[in-house]
Structures are given as C-alpha cells and as structure tokens.
Structure 1
Amino acid sequence: MRLRALTIAATVALLAFSGCVSSKKYAALQTEHDTLKRDYNASQVELAETRANGKSLESLLAQARANNEELKRNYAALQKSLDNSISQNTQGNVNISKLVDEINASNRYIKQLVQAKSKSDSLNLALTTKLTRSLDANEMQEVNVKVLKGVVYISLADNMLFQSGSYEVNERAMETLGKIAKIIKDYDDYDVLVEGNTDPVPINRTNIRNNWDLSALRASSIVQVLQKDFDINPSRLSAAGRGEYNPIADNSTELGRQRNRRTEIIITPKLDQFLDLIDKAPNQE
C-alpha cells in the first residue's frame, strides 16, 4: 500500500511538471492521493495497536503463569493444612476420650466425698444428740458441745476439771468424763484429741515452767483418765497443749480469762479414712 501511494504521487508530480494533464484529472488524482494517505495513516495506527496488544497479551500470559504458580502453592499449603487437621482430629478424639474418663473418675470421687460427708454429718448429729441428752442441767452449764466443719468439739470448763494451777483431775469431773467416754466408745470410727488451753496469767509452780507445760499436762491427765478409768483404746487418743495461744474470749476481763481456761475434747473421723479418700482421688495431669 505504501509503494502504491508513492507511485501515484510520483505520477502526479510528473504530469504536473509536464503540463500534459488537465485540471480535472489532476483534482481526481489529488483526491485519490488524500484517500490513500488517510488509509496509510490508519494502517500505521492499526499496526501500532497490534504491536501494543501483542505486548499486552505477553504480559497477560506472564501474569496468568504467575497466578497459576501461586494457585499451586496455595493448593499445596491447603493440602498440608488438611492433612494436619485430619491428624489433629484423630488426636483430638483421643484427648476427648481421655477427658471423658477423667471426668467420670472425678465424678466418682466427688460421690465418695459426698457419701463420706453425709455419713460424717449423720454420725456427728447422732453423737452430739446422745451426748447432750446424757448431760444434766448442771453439767450443761460447764460443758459446751458444738459441731464445726464436721468435727465435734466438747469444751469443758477448767474449774470443773482441775484445781487452780493443777493438772490433777477432780473427782467431781469423773462422772461427766464417764458420760463422754461412753459416747466415745460407741463411735469407734472416730479419733479423740484432747487439747489443754490456759489464760495468759503466768503460773508460779516449781514443777511447771509455764502455761505451755500446764496445758499439755492437763491434756495428758484427761487422756490417761479416759484410757485407764473408762477403757478407751489409747490408739484413738492424742494429747496436746496450746497454752494461752488459742483464746476464744477477751483476756482483759476475768470472765474472758475464765472461758479461755478450758480443755477441749475433739472427736474427729479417723485420719486414715481421709487419707484413703486422698489416695482414691483421680490423678490430674
């Protein structure tokens, strides 16, 4: 097309210079020349666009190839994640089964504790009822019975049991101790701790150094009376002295000090029963 345009242009020029062509013929040739020139320019634009589109196609192809590689990587990652999920799900099933077993074991242990507590509460209620019914009005003024956190506390006033500064048991205390001993013998599933307590007033005795000594000696005296006079199994008995360091009242008054001078007989379920329950407790990992 370009060669044809050049040929016509040369012919037109030659005719013009030769003066052998008419004006009409010249005008026709000029029109054809203009048309060919426009066609030529359009062809150039089309060629440029074609080249540009070719480059765009190459870019699109490169992008498509890059996207394809990215999709392959994503697929591989997804497959790996799926494999891990399947593996973890299998392990999860094992963990869930183990957790269910632990829950069941814990429920059994809780049930044992509830049963033990119910038994202990029932025995404590019966024990307390029998004990309070066995004491007369005068004894109830000097003996306080209560249940605290599953433990039976029998608190005996100091002046009912001992002379001032002494650890020898009064004769008048023997009847009350006999009633308590009978109840203790009826409940052989329980251990007995005897605790001596004093006020903070210093003691002045040649054979007793301080209130620690006095409280421990008084507890020991009660334990030996229960064993020797009332045939309580000594393996169930313990003696402890707490001195002046376990007050239940204000020591600034005489009434308060009087309340603090006491001996407590504490009746509790046997320790080995609790240890058995602890041994049965489900292991927690």
Structure 2
Amino acid sequence: MKKLFLFSLTTLLLLSSCVSKKEYAALEAKQKETQDLLNTATVKLNSCLADKAAATARATTLEEQVADLRKSNDNLTVLSSKGASNVEKTLESIKEKELKITRLQDALTKKDSITLAIVTSFKREVGINDPDIEINVEKGVVFISIADKLLFQSGSYNVTTRAKEVLAKVAKVVNSKPDFECMVEGHTDNVPYNKPPLLDNWDLSVKRSTSIIRVLQDLGVNPKQLIAAGRGEYVPLVDNDTAEHRATNRRTRIVVLPKIDQFYDMVEKEMKNLSAGGN
C-alpha cells in the first residue's frame, strides 16, 4: 500500500503540470480516498496483529494448562493406585483386628464359662445355706471363704474333723478342674499370737494354710495345683473392735483360679497383639 501511495503521489506531481485544475482536483480527491483506505487498512492490520499476539498468548497458556493437566492426571493415576493400595491395607488391618478381638472375646467367654461352672459345682457340693461358707466371684476368680470355727479350734492350726468333711467337697471340685490352681489363704484377727514354735499372726495364718493344703493333698488334690499363703491380720473384712468382728476376720479363703500359662497368658497375648496392631 505504501508503494501505491508513492506511485499516486508521483503521478500526481507529474501530471499537475499538464492537467487541468478539474482533473487535478479529481486526482487529489482520489489520492485522499486512497490515503483513507491506506489508513483504515493500517488500523485493521495493527488490530489483527494485536489479536494474533493475544491469540498466540492464549494458545501458549492453554498449551501450558494442557501440559499441567496431563502431568496432574499422571500424578492422580499414581495417587489413585497408592490410595487403592492403602485402602486395601487398611481393610486387611481392620480384619486382623476384628479377628484378634473375636479371639480375645472367645478366650474371655471361655474363662467366664468355666468360672461359672466352678461356682455352680462348689455351690452344689459345698452347699450355699451354711452361713460360715461364702462363695463368690470377683474379677473372674472364684473365692470360697470358710470361717475358722469350721476349720480350727481357737488358737490352733490343727484341722478339725468337721473341716475335713467340708474340705472333701472342695477337693472334689478342684480335682474336676486339673487346669486350675487352688490358693489357700489364711487370715487372723489382730490379737497378738505367740505360742512356740510360732512367733506371731503371720506364722499362724501361714501354718493354718499349709495344714489345709496337706488335708487337700491327702484327699487326692494334685500338689502342683496348691499354693500356700498367709495374710496375717492385715486384710480384715471388718474392724477388729468386737469379739464378733474378730471372729469374722479369722477365716481361710480358698482362691480357685485358672493356671496363668493356659488362660490368662492367652488373654494377655491377644491384648498385646491387639495393642501392637493399634500402634
């Protein structure tokens, strides 16, 4: 267009000397029209160039976005794969914990069932109507508390004939449960005791325990199931402030409990496994 303008201008100059004023005016008007067209074309060209630059910038931005999306998609694919793997591992962990909980519940249920059976056996064999014999369960352990007046003469550790009748019933139940242990626990009141060869209430409580254990052993109880223990005057049921209360505290308690290596060990193992799984 610039060449066209120059050509028109040159032609106009050349002809200005040899054309009439009318023709000159026409040529001048034509030149102005051509100039206007040129200006308009220049404006449109600049606008097109600007649009092209903007379009190119948008295209570049879109290409970068597409590249980012492709990269993100690849990352999402990797994350999805890892997520699926993590979900699967989590489900497996939950199943393992549920299995451990079930096994633990089964162990506790089994122990509780056996404990209930022992209580029933003792109550049937020993009798529940005797006020001097008390049978109860505390934390899954069977306790039989026998008043000393059924077992010993006052201040003595020699077992009475009546006591042997009661202990024979205890031995029958213990013998039916070879997987359980039987701890005989002697208790005294707080009245000082000192009759040689015994020195004090500690000695008396332990000696009474071993006397009962020997009777149970003579009645056929496996000595491996028996444990001797004395608590002296230090675990009273009531205050030693009256003769009646002191008589209540003088007692022998027989504790029947599962062997640690067979029942509680199993429960502890499951608890540790469950705890380890949680960590």
If the TM-score is normalised by the length of the shorter chain, which range does it land in?
0.7 to 0.9
- Structure 1 residue ranges without an equivalent (≥5): 15-19
Cα offset for 1:67? 2.7
Partner of 2:43: 48
Q: What is the aligned-residue RMSD (CA, Å)?
A: 3.9
Correspondence for 1:268: 257
Aligned pairs (5 A) from 1:190-209: 190-205=180-195, 207-209=197-199
Identity of aligned residues (%): 31
Deviation for aligned residue 1:220: 1.6
Q: Which residue of 2 aligns with 1:82?
A: 77
Structure 1 position 71, deviation (Å):
1.7
1:257 is matched with which residue: 246, 249, 259?
A: 246
Matched, 1:157 2:127: no
User: CA 1:33 to 1:204, structure 2 compared with 1: closer, same or farther past 3 Å?
Assistant: farther
Query: Aligned with 2:117: secondary structure?
Result: helix
* Counterpart code for 2:106: K
Partner of 2:63: 68
TM-score, scaled relative to structure 1: 0.72
Determine whether 1:126 maps to 2:121. yes
Q: Which residue of 2 aligns with 1:144?
A: 134
Give the whole-Å Cα distance in 1 for the aligned partners of 2:235 and 2:60.
87
Q: Count the aligned residue pairs.
A: 269
What's the CA shift for 1:124? 2.5
What is the alpha-carbon distance in structure 2 between the residues aligned to residue 144 and residue 51 of structure 1? 110
Structure 1 counterpart SS, 2:232? coil
The structural deviation recorded for 1:246 is: 2.4
The 5 Å alignment of 1:236-247 reads: 236-247=225-236
The alpha-carbon deviation at position 143 of structure 1 amounts to: 1.8
Residues 60-117 of structure 1: CA distance to partner in whole angstroms, max 9, x if unpaired? 3133223313321331231133034235535644664565466446535533543443
- Distance in 2 of aligned mates of 1:265 and 1:144: 10
Q: Equivalents in 1 of 2:184, 2:53: separation in Å?
A: 100
**Conserved? CA contact 2:119–2:136, under 8 Å:** no
Counterpart of 1:117, as a letter, is D
Using the TM superposition, give the Cα deviation of residue 197 of structure 1 relative to its aligned residue in structure 2, in angstroms: 1.7
1:223 counterpart letter in structure 2: I
Q: In the TM superposition, what are the counterparts of 1:160-171 in structure 2 within 5 Å?
A: 160-171=150-161
What does residue 211 of structure 1 align with?
201
Q: Which runs of 4+ in 1 moved over 6 A?
A: 5-12
- The 1:107/1:213 distance shift into structure 2, 3 A limit, reads same
What displacement does 1:121 show? 1.7
Q: How far is 1:219 from its partner?
A: 1.3
The offset of 1:237, in angstroms, is 1.0
Using the TM superposition, give the Cα deviation of residue 54 of structure 1 relative to its aligned residue in structure 2, in angstroms.
Answer: 0.6
2:163 aligns with one of 151, 158, 173: 173
Give the distance between the partners of 1:206 and 1:39, measured in 2 at CA.
145
Superposed CA deviations along residues 22-75 of structure 1, whole A, max 9, x for unmatched, are xxx69x94x986786576356435513522431342233133223313321331
Residue deviations 1:161-216 (CA, integer Å, cap 9, x gap):
33444433344433333343344334444321101123344434454444333322
Alpha-carbon offset, residue 274 of structure 1: 0.5
> Which secondary structure state, in structure 1, belongs to the residue aligned with residue 131 of structure 2?
helix
* Cα 1:171/1:74, change in 2 over 3 Å: same
Instruction: Out of 166-175 and 3-12, give the one that drifted further.
Output: 3-12
| Contact 1:132/1:145 (<8 A) preserved | no
Larger radius of gyration: 1
Q: Distance in 1 between matches of 2:159 and 2:67?
A: 95
Q: Closer, same or farther in 2 for the Cα pair 1:251/1:37, shift >3 Å?
A: farther
TM superposition shift of 1:118: 2.3
TM-score, with structure 2 as normaliser: 0.73
Of 195-204 and 71-80, deviating more is 195-204
Per the alignment, do residues 34 and 142 of structure 1 end up closer, same or farther by CA in structure 2, a change over 3 Å counting? same
Q: Post-superposition shift, 1:261?
A: 2.0
CA contact (8 A) 2:107 2:263 kept: no
